[in-house]
Amino acid sequence: MSASNHTVDSGSSSRSRSEHPPSRCYCNQVAPLRTVRFNGGRNAGRAFYGCSGWPDSCGFLRWVDEVDELRDMEDKLMEAATENAELRLQIDQLERRVRELLNASKNKQEQIEELAIESDVMRERMYSAYADRKLLVFCVISWVMFFFSFYVEELAL
């Protein structure tokens, strides 16, 4: 019997489902694309990859539509892995930016503390200068009063 008039049990395809889409069978031969040709079966007209030595072979069979599903899943997996890598890069960039902002915030906080200390020093100097001016004004007024009272006494004599 020729290979085109037989079907192969699809249970053997689970052995290598996670492998790269088939190009070689289990006996490491090229697995050609074939089509089920007998009438009446549920797989009639269905394409598959099968061992080149079939029916007396390793029993490799993988339906093309399952291969397509497998390729689609691999494509989706690759897309998800790529997206995951891109998101990881974005996360790394955002974490780096957060560290930069925290450092900048810390620096600004230190500057604010330095300015607060400087402001306190300036306030103390200002109050001291104000007190000095008050004392000076008091002294001037006292001397003026002293000289005025001395002058008035001189005039009265």
pLDDT of residue 78: 93
Q: Which residues neighbour 65 within 8 Å (Cβ) at sequence distance 6 or greater?
A: 46, 47
| Residue 37 in domain | yes
Q: How many domains does the chain have?
A: 1
Please write the tens of the pLDDT for every residue from 77-133. Answer: 999 999 999 999 999 999 999 999 999 999 999 999 999 999 999 999 999 999 889
Looking at the predicted structure, is the pLDDT value of residue 13 above 70?
Answer: no
| Residue 119 in domain | no
| Residue 142 in domain | no
Looking at the predicted structure, is the pLDDT value of residue 19 above 60?
Answer: no
Query: Would you give the DSSP letter of residue 24?
Result: B
- Up-side HSE of residue 51: CA atoms within 13 Å toward CB? 18
Q: What are phi and psi of 49, to 5 degrees?
A: -95, 130
Choose between 140 and 54: higher pLDDT: 140
What residues make up the domain containing 33?
3-64
| Residue 34 in domain | yes
| Residue 72 in domain | no
Residue 22 pLDDT grade (very low, low, confident, very high; cuts 50, 70, 90):
low
| Residue 157 in domain | no
Choose between 40 and 18: higher pLDDT: 40
| Residue 101 in domain | no
| Residue 44 in domain | yes
Please write the tens of the pLDDT for every residue from 26-70. Answer: 888 888 888 888 767 788 888 888 888 877 888 888 888 777 777
> What are the helix (H) ranges across the chain?
64-156
Number of H helices, E strands in the chain: 1, 3
